[in-house]
Amino acid sequence: MLSRDEFRGALLALAALLTIVLAIVSLGINLPGALLLQSLRLHLIAGGIVLLVLLVISGARWRAGLFAAVLVVAGVHAGRFIFEYQERRSAPLGPAVAELSVISFNVLTGNRRATEAVEFLAGSDADVVVVMETPGIAGHLDRMRDAFPYSIGCESPQTCDISIHSRLPIEAGEIRTMRPFRFERLAIAPVVIAGQKVTIVGVHLSKPYFDGASGAELFAVSRTLSQIEGPVVLAGDFNAAVWSGPMVRLGRDQQLAPGPFYPATWPVRAGPLGVPIDNILTRGTVRIMALSAGSDSFGSNHRPLLARIELYEAP
């Protein structure tokens, strides 16, 4: 059993290690796994607060004070990015003219509860559903088309990944691949509601431990958004939280606004304590008024994300 001094020494070693990790995250040092740690920065700070309390209890008070300063700096750094997103959301737009309901759901290839997942989507009041890893529900696409008569994506099983299903007509929809991989992970679906055109853009990015891949994909996403005129709803599995460096840059470059909250979607077992790696963001005269993650994942390793969006008259 550890003595008091040994226990305190172990706590100090953990605090030193966490300080190094937070420095890597905050300074954006390009090391393997750094992007993943950026999405976990709030969890790291929360863990640091627990460690801080234990340091105080163990008697290492002045060193706990130094560690507290580290946590404050890391928290301010992360909070700055969140504030920047929320500031774009708060821009006044006037009275709403229509509502749009969107679901974004990575259904998981090989989903063993595919029937339930499809029935959840078909029975929802969503106007538009963005589906990632569509092969997971490939045997039930006829049911999806019954509920959502307009759809794009997954015409080729060899490259199928993302698809968009809509109760509103899709005008000149398009599916694109993104390098370095050859799967269809970018979808563009313009729809019209209340006489206004809104472009739904669906995205499925690579996991952050494929070095450089997600950065190249985000460049393609940003370039695509730059070519779209009018309001945009960007939805999908980004495999990253909005406070990760690449997502911060995308939001800044494209003036993307978030919802009022960042619901955790992965891992499912963590529930609301997980990481918000699935996101819905808007640009232009649209705002997310409510955003929530489903309580049931229907066999997926992601929770579905549900958004209620208001549309405003163009200036």
Judgement on whether residues 179 and 48 belong to the same structural domain of the protein: no
Burial zone of 19 (CB within 10 Å; 0-12 exposed, 13-18 middle, 19+ buried): middle
Predicted pLDDT of residue 212 = 66
Strand 278-283 relative to strand 305-312, pairing: unpaired
Considering only 8-22, 112-126, 204-218, which range has the smallest mean pLDDT? 204-218
Examine the fold and report which residue of 57, 87, 117 is the final residue of a domain before the chain moves on.
87
Judgement on whether residues 76 and 141 belong to the same structural domain of the protein: no
Range of the domain at 200: 95-312
Judgement on whether residues 20 and 142 belong to the same structural domain of the protein: no
Examine the fold and report which residue of 87, 117, 136 is the final residue of a domain before the chain moves on.
87
Structure tokens at 237: 């599995």
CATH number at residue 177: 3.60.10.10
pLDDT in tens, 268-287: 999 999 999 999 999 999 99
- Cα 26 from Cα 34, distance rounded (Å): 10
Judgement on whether residues 47 and 142 belong to the same structural domain of the protein: no
Please say if the pLDDT value at position 25 is more than 60. yes
Judgement on whether residues 147 and 183 belong to the same structural domain of the protein: yes
Examine the fold and report which residue of 58, 87, 116 is the final residue of a domain before the chain moves on.
87
pLDDT in tens, 74-93: 999 999 999 999 999 887 67
Look over the chain and give the mean of its residue pLDDT values, rounded to a whole number.
91
Judgement on whether residues 81 and 114 belong to the same structural domain of the protein: no
Structure tokens at 313: 């008259």
Judgement on whether residues 218 and 300 belong to the same structural domain of the protein: yes
Judgement on whether residues 252 and 293 belong to the same structural domain of the protein: yes
Most confident region among 83-97, 164-178, 209-223 by mean pLDDT: 164-178
Instruction: Give the up-direction half-sphere exposure of residue 91: CA atoms within 13 A in the CB hemisphere.
Output: 17
Predicted pLDDT of residue 1 = 62
Judgement on whether residues 46 and 134 belong to the same structural domain of the protein: no
Judgement on whether residues 123 and 216 belong to the same structural domain of the protein: yes
Judgement on whether residues 14 and 79 belong to the same structural domain of the protein: yes
- Cα 188 from Cα 200, distance rounded (Å): 6
The number of distinct structural domains making up the chain is: 2
Judgement on whether residues 284 and 198 belong to the same structural domain of the protein: yes
Residue for token pair 């606004």: 257
- Give this prediction's pTM: 0.93
Structure tokens at 308: 């209620």
Please say if the pLDDT value at position 314 is more than 80. no
